[in-house]
Chains A and B, each alone.
Chain A
Amino acid sequence: MLPAIEPQVLIAVGLAAGVTYSLRLGGLLLASRFPRSGRFRRGMDALPGALLFSLVLPSIVAEGGWGLMAAALTAIVVLRTRNTLAAMLCGMLVIFIVRKLGA
């Protein structure tokens, strides 16, 4: 049997979904009005990497010195092997071991 979804859940998730989809599509549609060369383009080209770096750096730093070690190992593994999954597991393994020993 299906569990019921409360009306307030329906609204809350609906609002969140509307906001998220508008941002996704809005960014794409607005971008075609932007200039495709020069300084602005240079900024847009730098954006993806800078955004991902900003996403992870605070969590890495929050994990302390071992977080930096784990991130460095992840980076080395992905550069050597081009294997994202292996890189992720190596990073997680460092944190796993450190927390096991620390506990």
Chain B
Amino acid sequence: MIRGARANVPVAASAMAYGSVLGVLAAQKGLSWLDMMYMNTAIFAGAAQFVMVDMWSNRLPLFEMTLAVLVINLRYLLIGASLDPLFSGRGLLHKMGMMHLVADENWAVTMSEQRNGSATTWFLFGGGVFLYLAWSSGTLIGLLGGGFITRPEEYALDFAFTAVFTALAVGLWRGKSDVLPWIAAGCVALLAHKFLPGKWYIVAGGLAGAVSAMLGPCDSIEVEEVEDAAGY
């Protein structure tokens, strides 16, 4: 668990950076620190929280907000599914307890750790707890002290999210067998980003990548077998 926390230090730093951006935006919308912490604790999903704060007003659009959160977080269905091998042999209560603190960051760190065969569910959870602390302090710093950062984009803080996930994506690159899925994912994501509203592009691109890997040429089977053999 401690190892998981330590492995998440870099991503937690970026979560804190864009958490502070969210805090600044939330302060402008009039959220209290308790509203913020309630969100951080109950939802714990950065992108969805950004969109909710963006939609915040005196009369909250409950239906639109919930739908937006559903669309943005659809990827968690896929993220959850990809964690199945890690959780194999664990009971339902263990799964229920561990899954709440799964975010993009500790998931991605755990996936690359799993390449070395040394990831556990506690590694995932340790990262989640650490991220929660970093995310909460980042949002509160932005919310309570945000007056002096009036334009976070001037400091490229909004790019922190993109930069850290670029680095994590590079870490997940598996070589030749990823060429086709990534091209498919990239094309579909760009098209969906242009023509579909909201955050559909994330799920659309991810699915396109997975489907193209399913339908792709069979030489990727050989690559997979080599990888499996190396894993033993």
Distance from A57 Cβ to chain B, minimum over Cβ atoms (Å): 5
Q: When A and B form their complex, what is the total count of cross-chain residue pairs whose Cβ atoms lie within 8 Å? A: 286
Chain B at the A interface: SS class: helix
Q: Is residue B43 contacting chain A, with contact meaning CB distance below 8 A?
A: yes
Contact B73 A19 (CB under 8 A): yes
Chain A at the B interface: SS class: helix
B151-181 residues at the A interface, CB under 8 angstroms:
153-157, 159-174, 177-178, 181
Contact A50 B162 (CB under 8 A): no
Contact A52 B108 (CB under 8 A): yes
Cβ contacts under 8 Å, A40 to chain B: 214
Cβ contacts under 8 Å, A17 to chain B: 42-43
Q: Is residue B202 contacting chain A, with contact meaning CB distance below 8 A?
A: yes
Task: Name the one of B38, B100, B108, B224 contacting A21, with C-beta atoms under 8 angstroms.
Answer: B100
Residue among A20, A67, A79, A89 facing the most chain B CB atoms (10 A cut-off):
A20
Cβ contacts under 8 Å, B153 to chain A: 99
Cβ contacts under 8 Å, B221 to chain A: 42
A63 and B190 alpha carbons, distance in the complex (Å): 13
Minimum-distance CB pairs A-B, first 8: A50-B209, A27-B80, A54-B205, A91-B163, A46-B213, A51-B206, A85-B10, A31-B84
- Which residues of B are interface residues toward A (Cβ below 8 A)? 9-11, 13-14, 32-35, 38-39, 42-45, 48, 52, 59-60, 62, 65-66, 69-70, 73-84, 87-88, 95-96, 99-100, 102, 104, 107-108, 111, 153-157, 159-174, 177-178, 181-182, 184-186, 188-190, 193, 201-206, 208-216, 220-221, 224
